[in-house]
Amino acid sequence: MQRSGKGGHSRSKSLLFVCTGNICRSPLAEAIFRHQAEQAGHGAIFEVDSAGTHGYHEGEAADPRARKVGQQRGVAVTSIAREVDDGDFERFDLILAMDRGHLRELRARCPVPLRDRIRLMREFGEPPGGDVPDPYYSGEEVFEEVFDLLDGCCRRLLVELLR
């Protein structure tokens, strides 16, 4: 995946954001990170995708509430749900789990030599640690809170990846 990206970065970086069904948290994280990278002039050096630990919603667009909060914030949430597949562990440089349950599940499925590619999204939170709450069974206000949380995490993640 060699590319001559902007800002002196010569190698593209591939990121996969993962939640349970790939219709709420991970599509938001994918869209927010992509938007921030593009706004910073570094969109060309990142391959960004999202997936779910389960295929409950495979082929579906993101939850309407996730798309709505994205639209309200100027971020297009366009991903189509899919399940994590075994090839993802090799394909992506960094896999970001939305909560500790996803982290455990991904590490259990991942070949041992690649497990260091899997990190918890909230490692980039302020303060770091904890889970990104699942807004699925909540109202629109929780989607807004999750958007804000992911927005901050993605900003710090982008800064770290551009170092």
Active site residues: 19, 25, 134
CA proximity to 133, closest of 115, 155, 148: 148
From the number of C-beta atoms within 10 Å of its C-beta (0-12, 13-18, 19+), residue 65 rates as buried
CA proximity to 105, closest of 122, 84, 79, 78: 84
50, 121 contact by CB (below 8 A): no
Q: Which amino acid is at 16?
A: L
123, 94 contact by CB (below 8 A): no
